[in-house]
Chains A and B, each alone.
Chain A
Amino acid sequence: MSQPAETRGAAVTADATTIRVTLPAHLRTIAQVSGEVQVEVPGAVTQRALLDALEAAYPNLRGTIRDQSTFKRRAFVRFYACEEDLSHEPPDDPLPDEVLKGKEPFMVIGAMAGG
């Protein structure tokens, strides 16, 4: 049975959107969560806005998904949603509608590397 998702982030306002996010096992440990999380994202929901909200809600994740100085995605981290690889999409592009509507999660993935 899956764990209920935990919701964190900005206070729910008229312009906030709840986004489902899945994290790889190592980052769930760091964030001290056991399953999918839900993050309240204020304003336009872009990759950058979502990651900003995610890191604000779970400060231990800072630096693990994006470099803390350049905010570039770490090389071995990928972003998937709706069966698409969004890793190389511009960070200020809107996320897919299915993610905005909560039908699909935004997936943070540790890239396959090694055996």
Chain B
Amino acid sequence: MSGVRVLVGTRKGAFVLTADGKRKDWDVSGPHFAGWEMYHLKGSPVEPDRIYASQTSGWFGQLIQRSDDGGKSWTQVGGKFEYEGKVGDHLWYDGTPRPWEFKRIWHLEPSLTDPDVVYAGGEDAAIFRSDDGGQEWAELPSLRQHGTAQDWQPGAGGMCLHTIILDPIDPQRIFVAISAAGAFRSDDAGKTWKPINKGLLSGEIPDPDKEVGHCVHRIAQHPARPDTLYMQKHWDVMRTDNAGDEWYDIGDSLPTDFGFPIDVHAHEPDTVYIVPIKSDSEHFVPDGQLKVYRSRTGGKDWEPLTNGLPQKDCYHNILRDAMAVDKLDDCGVYFGTSGGQVYCSPDSGDSWSAIVRDLPAVLSVEVQTLS
């Protein structure tokens, strides 16, 4: 019988939540790596029992863990991430130059075709690749060495490369997003990169439509329509239909277009999910009400989804990597909150219930659909 495995990274460990296809009764495993910040866990689409995990600590640095049995046991693999070649400067918060300094891995993206190949997005922003199951890592340096890099700057969470999308059709094409630099595309498997930020407007930088400097929070793609990307920017929800060459705003009708996560329904490329947050100074949902917003028209119209979500005295945030969708016939939607809840909707967002309510603050949520 089919089922799902939800991989949850939190401020104090990782948790693995499993259920059958009904997604009603859940088994909770964890905490794995108790006390460590688990920024992200993600399974290989080729070998689902292979899971990569980013384990990090401000005290003790970066480690990468790998499981080959679906999260039951783990092996510490490589944790050595070095910038290649000259380490340049980026902008600090006050506008002064500051050298790149590696801090942690925010996001792991396993290859769509090879279980030993995995990409990692780092802070300070860089993309790394391992070809041996996470043991050894090498930077794809031309991104960090891009001619605009001296104008990149950290968002409030740091200057992180948080989104990596491996194109399902064109193996040469990779999309990444960096806060606060913007989105970039490679058409040659990471050898060269092009900023794809035309159409973005950001009031937080002196020139609002500059080529780089935009605080992109997340981008998402449906594999059946790879030229269409959806973006949750610091402010603004955006869409492109030409692989990032031009973006347009699809968030004007929302109560607020600030937020972090964005994701696309597994079977409906025009169905998009976001969680609006009140503002960049109050990182919690508006009016104490947790509402997921769904568009079934590719961003033309949005509807609030509230069935089963708290509508009183709720002041959580949902971080950029903390939303995911499964691929079951009735697409499941999942997200985790800063208050430690992980919610599941087994019916595309129509109704929600909490799988767990009292985890540490959730940093990331991924889901694997198991046959």
Please name all residues of chain A whose beta carbon is closer than 8 Å to the beta carbon of B62 when the two chains form the complex. 63
Please name all residues of chain B whose beta carbon is closer than 8 Å to the beta carbon of A25 when the two chains form the complex. 35
- Chain A count of residues within 8 A CB distance of the other chain: 20
- B36–A26 CB distance below 8 A: yes
**Interface check A7, CB cutoff 8 A:** no
- B82–A111 CB distance below 8 A: no
Please name all residues of chain A whose beta carbon is closer than 8 Å to the beta carbon of B63 when the two chains form the complex. 30, 60, 63-64
- B80–A63 CB distance below 8 A: yes
Chain A residues near B (Cβ < 8 Å):
24-27, 29-30, 60, 62-65, 67-69, 74, 76-77, 110-111, 113
- B80–A64 CB distance below 8 A: no
The complex places the Cα of A25 from the Cα of B58 at a distance, in Å, of 15
| One of A26, A68, A69, A113 near B60 (C-beta < 8 A) | A26
- A110–B80 CB distance below 8 A: no
**Interface check B79, CB cutoff 8 A:** yes
- A74–B60 CB distance below 8 A: yes
| One of B33, B59, B61, B76 near A111 (C-beta < 8 A) | B59
Please name all residues of chain A whose beta carbon is closer than 8 Å to the beta carbon of B58 when the two chains form the complex. 76, 113
Please name all residues of chain A whose beta carbon is closer than 8 Å to the beta carbon of B35 when the two chains form the complex. 25-26, 29
Please name all residues of chain B whose beta carbon is closer than 8 Å to the beta carbon of A110 when the two chains form the complex. 59-60
- A65–B60 CB distance below 8 A: yes
The complex places the Cα of A64 from the Cα of B57 at a distance, in Å, of 9
Q: Please name 8 further chain A to chain B contacts, defined as beta carbons within 8 Å, in addition to the given A27-B60, A74-B59, A77-B60, sorted by A numbering.
A: A26-B35, A30-B63, A30-B76, A64-B60, A67-B61, A69-B80, A74-B60, A110-B59
List, sorted by A's number, 23 A–B pairs whose CB atoms are closer than 8 Å: A25-B35, A26-B59, A26-B60, A27-B60, A29-B34, A29-B35, A30-B63, A60-B63, A60-B76, A62-B80, A63-B62, A63-B79, A63-B80, A65-B60, A67-B61, A68-B79, A68-B80, A68-B82, A74-B60, A76-B59, A76-B60, A77-B60, A110-B59
The complex places the Cα of A68 from the Cα of B76 at a distance, in Å, of 15
A70 nearest CB neighbor, chain B only:
B82
Q: Which 6 A-B pairs have the closest CB atoms?
A: A64-B60, A76-B59, A110-B59, A68-B80, A60-B76, A63-B79
| Chain B stretch 55-106: residues in CB contact (< 8 A) with chain A | 57-63, 76, 79-80, 82
Q: How far is the CB of A23 from chain B (nearest CB, A)?
A: 10
Please name all residues of chain A whose beta carbon is closer than 8 Å to the beta carbon of B80 when the two chains form the complex. 62-63, 68-69
What 1/0 mask marks residues of chain B from 98 to 118 whose CB sits below 8 Å from any chain A CB? Answer: 000000000000000000000
What 1/0 mask marks residues of chain B from 23 to 35 whose CB sits below 8 Å from any chain A CB? Answer: 0000000000111
